[in-house]
Amino acid sequence: MGTSHAQSAIIYCRVSSKKQVSDGNGLASQEAACREYAEAKGYTVKAVICDDLTGKSDQRGGLKAMIAALQQSKDTTTIVIIDDLNRLARSVRTHLTIRDAIAAAGGKLESPKRVFADDPEDDILEVIEAAFAGEHRRKNAEQTRARMRARCLNGYWCLQLPHGYKYYKVKGQGALIERDEPVASVVQNALESFACGHLQTQADVARFLQSQPDFPKRSTGRVPDQMAKNILTNPLYAGYVEVPNWDVSLRPGHHPALIDFETFQTIQKRLEGPTKGIVRKDNSADFPLRGFVECGDCGKPLTSCWAKGKKQRHAYYHCFN
């Protein structure tokens, strides 16, 4: 007499962000509820797969791994256990896409909080629940955006930080920003140098930043001209907050400035006016300070060249006066 084969199952859990994972919000409780359900049903849990992305998207690493596991399963049907419907998706379209993918891969969806019946009435209820989940996500996003906009209106930056700043928490005040050294000093140097004309163009600023070991660069090791432009036009560096997309006009911020507002205005006038100076063809990483360092006697920018010795070349800066 043969032994019965226990039904295999995969538990799928999801939270909306990596911060929720680090804070311990959600994943452990979801897994516990799903394991309790599996034990009551006599299922054998083969895997627990988690995601930390928004439920609006169906392009999640954990979701793809779950579908791949279902496709590779030797069982006729593998149970996919979710704690709640909104753990699967936060929009009707995404929900239906994932449901079809699970079914096509040989999976059957179950949850301790609802029964998935294979009939038209339950299909309608399931779509309604998915629609409510999507509306809840939209409302949450609106409320979060409203809170962030209100904070910006009060002069507190709460969006992605530009190079040279970092967040720190203050009890009762939330997240504030401060200088992030040594990058802050590098950015300050670039801004002041462009304002006074030592750096003539956005390309010069990009090359200067690229020459600084402490300044973060792209994977290619380069600093694009667009990044330099973003730095030159960001009023946050002057101690001000502005978010045009949220109708938050320019206003003083509660954070340390890297440059004064007059310097920022000078930079904007230089960007709007005709370009002074031409990008030199012999500019390179070999001479990052060319035109940037002044002569201690006459005050004019130093030039540079290679000096050939007996065994090796040396780069040096000099003045013609």
Rounded CA-CA distance 86/96 in Å is 12
Rounded CA-CA distance 227/123 in Å is 50
Nearest to 317 by CA among 291, 285, 283, 284: 291
| 182 residue type, one letter | P
Nearest to 159 by CA among 172, 175, 140, 143: 175
Q: What is the mean pLDDT of residues 152-178?
A: 92
Q: What is the mean pLDDT of residues 56-69?
A: 87
pLDDT for the residue 220: 87
Write out the two tokens for 291. 């035109």
Q: What is the mean pLDDT of residues 205-229?
A: 92
* pLDDT tens-place string over residues 3-52: 456 789 999 998 876 665 555 457 888 999 999 999 999 999 999 999 88
CB 164 within 8 A of CB 183: yes
Neighbours of 12 (CB within 10 A): 27
* Phi-psi category of residue 134: left, alpha or beta, with phi > 0 → left and psi -120 to 50 → alpha: alpha
Q: Per residue, what are the HEC states of the chain?
A: CCCCCCCEEEEEEECCCHHHHHCCCCHHHHHHHHHHHHHHHCCEEEEEEEECCCCCCCCCHHHHHHHHHHHHCCCCCEEEEECCHHHHCCCHHHHHHHHHHHHHCCEEEEECCECCCCCHHHHHHHHHHHHHHHHHHHHHHHHHHHHHHHHHHCCCCCCCCCCCEEEEEECCCEEEEEECCCHHHHHHHHHHHHHHCCCCCHHHHHHHHHHCCCCCCCCCCCCCHHHHHHHHCCHHHHCEEEEHHHCEEEEECCCCCCCCHHHHHHHHHHHHCCCCCCCCCCCCCCCCCCCCCECCCCCCECEEEEEECCCCEEEEEECCC
Higher per-residue pLDDT: 156 or 121: 156
pLDDT confidence tier of residue 316, bands split at 50, 70 and 90: low
Higher per-residue pLDDT: 133 or 233: 233
Give percent of the chain above pLDDT 70.
79
Q: Is the pLDDT of residue 195 over 90?
A: yes
Nearest to 240 by CA among 226, 260, 224, 220: 260
Least confident of 35-49, 73-87, 150-164: 73-87
Q: What is the mean pLDDT of the chain?
A: 82
Higher per-residue pLDDT: 294 or 146: 146
Per-range mean pLDDT, top range of 63-67, 74-78, 237-241, 295-299: 237-241
pLDDT for the residue 1: 44
* pLDDT tens-place string over residues 110-143: 999 888 877 676 667 777 777 777 677 777 778 8
pLDDT for the residue 174: 84
Q: What is the mean pLDDT of residues 289-305?
A: 59
pLDDT for the residue 3: 45
* pLDDT tens-place string over residues 249-285: 999 999 999 999 999 999 999 998 765 444 444 555 5
pLDDT for the residue 281: 46
pLDDT for the residue 278: 42
pLDDT for the residue 182: 96
Q: Is the pLDDT of residue 187 over 60?
A: yes
- pTM (2 decimals)? 0.55
